[in-house]
Structure 1
Amino acid sequence: MTGIPKVELHLHLEGAAPPAFIRGLAQEKGVNLDGVFNEDGTYRFEDFVGFLRTYEAATAVLTGPEEFRRLTEAVLEQSAAEGVIYTEAFISPNFCGGGDLGAWKEYVAAMKEAADAAERDSGIIMRGVVTCIRHEGPDAAKPDALCAAETMGDFVTGWGMGGDESVGTQGDYAYSFDMAREAGLRLTTHAGEWGGAASVWQAVRDLRVERIGHGVQCIEDPALVGHLAEHGIVLEVCPGSNVALGVFPEWSKHPIETLRGKGVRVTVSTDDPPFFHTTLRREYDMLADTFGWDEEVVRAVNIDAAKAAFCDDATREKLLKKLEPQDA
């Protein structure tokens, strides 16, 4: 299964930063990151709130377009080594210029430069999904959506929302999602990681997204599971992240296989891989060990991911061609 090309739809760019990269950047800048790392050099946190705190502290060293160019380069090198042929990374104006459109354009240009180089050198394709940060509130999401709309093109192709699901409701952010939709961006949002099945219902009804980030707590509501399956709404599932953060106590309790069995289109991603001590290969290895996923299932899941990708049709056809069995 390691030889099957992989399509990843749920990856936070900053959250995928190798710890060594962040430590090196901090040393270059003379920034003190005490409390961010464990003794073995991995990221330190105990729960979801602690994770967010560490995440924001670590990303504080990323202060300009050049750092984001280098970050994109490092992340794509890491992903390509895992057999990823296409990745969508969540990128946020909040971290890239603080919502200022002029600054944001410089950051996007830097990330695109690194993505273009990676595609030339290793064949991996990257697209950017711009996200607002939920716990910053609906008003803060509006300039982020404007940034996304103004830079939409062959690199920026999607819009979504991450952050603390306990803040407000999905519908509070409808204005920003409508703005992104009108600009032609494809839509996703984090829901049903912590907010229960109700937050997934809000996402599909109030924001009318075509994909859901995580979404796994939909399993609490059979009617919702049926709705997702019937309407082809795709889940960006990150099992290792869910187990590491305690959404589910262990891999055997994760609902991804149950959801797949009920006709829900599930995909597999790593979320913030170095934080959760995972890689995309490890995710599939664990799914094989836990649920018996074989090459046929892995290929089918990645084909579904390619079909759900926020890319143009020509890119999609290229991905699907790569996902065909070698002996076909």
Structure 2
Amino acid sequence: MTFDPKIELHLHLEGAAPPEFVGRLADEKKMRLDGVFNEAGSYDYKDFEGFLQVYERATEVLKTPEDYARLTRAVLEHSVEQGVIYTEAFLSPDFCGGRDLTAWREYMHAMQEAAGAVPGIEMRGIVTCIRHFGPDKARETARCAAETAGDFITGFGIGGNEGLFAPGDFVWAYDCAREAGLGLTAHAGEFGGPESVRSALDDLGVSRIGHGVRAVEDEALIDRLAEDGIVLEVCPGSNVALGVYANIAAHPIEKLRERGVKVTVSTDDPPFFHTTMREEYEALERTFGWDGEAFRQINRTAAEAAFCDDATRADLLARLEA
């Protein structure tokens, strides 16, 4: 079964860069990317820390606003092929001008213009600080987010190594983003356990959790997520590729859904994890027997949780029911 249209809430723009795109850009710039690709031409890493290192090495080829414009077009064109009509992409001023506000504006406008030129899909940006870069740099990132909040930049989040620093260390950055009217999300409960999710909720006040699947290990937390309507941006293929779960059958997305937790489905960093939105859906259908109504429901949930204006949300919901 093919279910279209789709809504994706958890996609890292740099992490969605096809290896051939990164390799071509490196050739143009005469840059060496030793250790980034394996012999088959795929991204080469063995564990989560290795993934982060390769990710950051690959982003080194992205030097200019035009590079990011080209990347945005390439990523969104692929998303359209997968039946995606709306996507929220994590964008990092850390990689776009070193958190300098003037430079960040140039990168942001380049990405926004490129996104508007791809037919069939809407994109919004979630400015994302990098956890392992520390709270001070996160403050600078939050200022970039707050100063450019608007029609395109609609959310704020945190990604990176969940094992470094605590959510409470980033309260200032989140308060800054909240005061600017941005939607709030946070990576938690991926490699960190249930306490990571609880801390993101208590300390940062987010309405969505990136991943969040380790919440399944705490019955009271499952109930809290369901009762409070917290939305999980679940990326099953990513969780399997990085070894959080052995295979899709062991993944807790179905248990969470059965318990009333609001779940959505995304690809995270698709070429790194050898997945696509269609492959994610096919795996869920094959493994858990999800049907058209199940997929309609997760996409309705995604539309309702999206960091967008009411008119865009109404349009997305109408298209899902068409």
Please report the TM-score for the alignment, with normalisation by the length of structure 1: 0.97
Q: How many angstroms apart in 2 are the aligned matches of 1:156 and 1:149? A: 9
Q: CA deviation at 1:39?
A: 1.1
The answer as to 2:295 corresponding to 1:305 is no
Q: 1:63 to 1:7 in 2, by over 3 A?
A: same
The amino acid of 1:170's aligned partner reads P
The correspondence of residues 235-246 of structure 1 with structure 2, limited to 5 A, is 235-246=232-243
Aligned partner of 2:207: which letter?
A: E
User: In structure 1, what residue type is equivalent to 2:40?
Assistant: D
Indicate if the aligned counterparts of 1:2 and 1:83 stay in contact, CA closer than 8 A. no
Q: Aligned AA for 1:158?
A: G
Q: Whole-Å Cα distance in 1 between the matches of residues 220 and 66 of structure 2?
A: 47
Superposition map of 1:116-131 within 5 A? 116-118=116-118, 122-131=119-128
Q: What pairs with 1:76-115 in structure 2 (closer than 5 Å)?
A: 76-115=76-115
218-227 or 31-40: bigger deviation: 31-40
Distance (Å, rounded) in 2 between the aligned partners of 1:208 and 1:218: 16
Q: CA deviation at 1:290?
A: 0.5
Does the Cα contact within 8 Å between 2:96 and 2:104 map onto a contact in 1? yes
Q: Following TM superposition, by how much is the alpha carbon of 1:2 offset from its aligned partner in structure 2, in angstroms?
A: 1.9
CA offsets 1:244-276 (integer angstroms, 9 cap, x no match): 000011111100000000000000000000000
Whichever residue aligns with residue 46 of structure 2, its letter is E
Structure 1's unaligned 5+ residue stretches are none
C-alpha displacement at 1:88, in angstroms? 0.2
1:94-145 per-position Cα deviation (integer Å, ceiling 9, x unaligned): 0000000000000000000101111xxx220000000000001101100100
Matching residue of 2:63: 63
Query: Equivalents in 2 of 1:34, 1:178: separation in Å?
Result: 40
Correspondent of 1:194 among 191, 194, 198: 191
Q: Displacement of 1:29 after TM fit?
A: 0.2
Q: Which residue of 2 aligns with 1:48?
A: 48
CA–CA distance in structure 2, aligned partners of residues 2 and 271 of structure 1: 20
Aligned counterparts of 2:4 and 2:267: Cα–Cα separation in 1: 17
Say whether residues 1:33 and 2:26 are aligned partners.
Answer: no
Pick aligned residue for 2:216 from 203, 208, 219: 219
Q: Does structure 1 conserve the Cα–Cα contact (< 8 Å) formed by 2:3 and 2:295?
A: no
1:272-311: CA deviation from partner (whole Å, max 9, x where unpaired): 0000000000000000011000111011111100100000
Q: Is the 8 A contact 1:235 1:265 kept in 2?
A: yes
Q: Please tell me whether residue 21 in structure 1 is matched to residue 21 in structure 2.
A: yes
Name segments (4+ residues, structure 1) moved above 4 Å.
none
**Residue aligned with 1:60, SS:** helix
Cα separation, 2, equivalents of 1:79 and 1:261: 28
Match of 2:273 in 1: 276
- Give the share of equivalent positions with the same residue, in percent: 65
Q: Are residue 209 (structure 1) and residue 194 (structure 2) matched? A: no
Report SS of the residue matched to 2:9.
strand
Q: How many residues align?
A: 322
Q: Secondary structure at the match of 1:198?
A: helix
What letter is aligned with 2:99? G
How far apart are residue 3 of structure 1 and its match? 3.9
CA contact (8 A) 1:92 1:132 kept: yes
For normalisation by structure 2, the TM-score amounts to: 0.99
In structure 1, distance between residues paired with 2:210 and 2:66: 28
Q: Tell me by how many angstroms 1:40 deviates.
A: 1.2
Matched residues in 1 for 2:95 and 2:49: separation?
Answer: 18
Please say if 1:2 is aligned against 2:2.
yes
How far 1:38 sits from its partner (Å)? 1.2
Letter in 1 for 2:76: L
What SS is found at the alignment partner of 1:323? helix
Q: Deviations over 1:159-184 (max 9, x none)?
A: 00000000111111000000000010
Unaligned runs of 5+ in 2: none
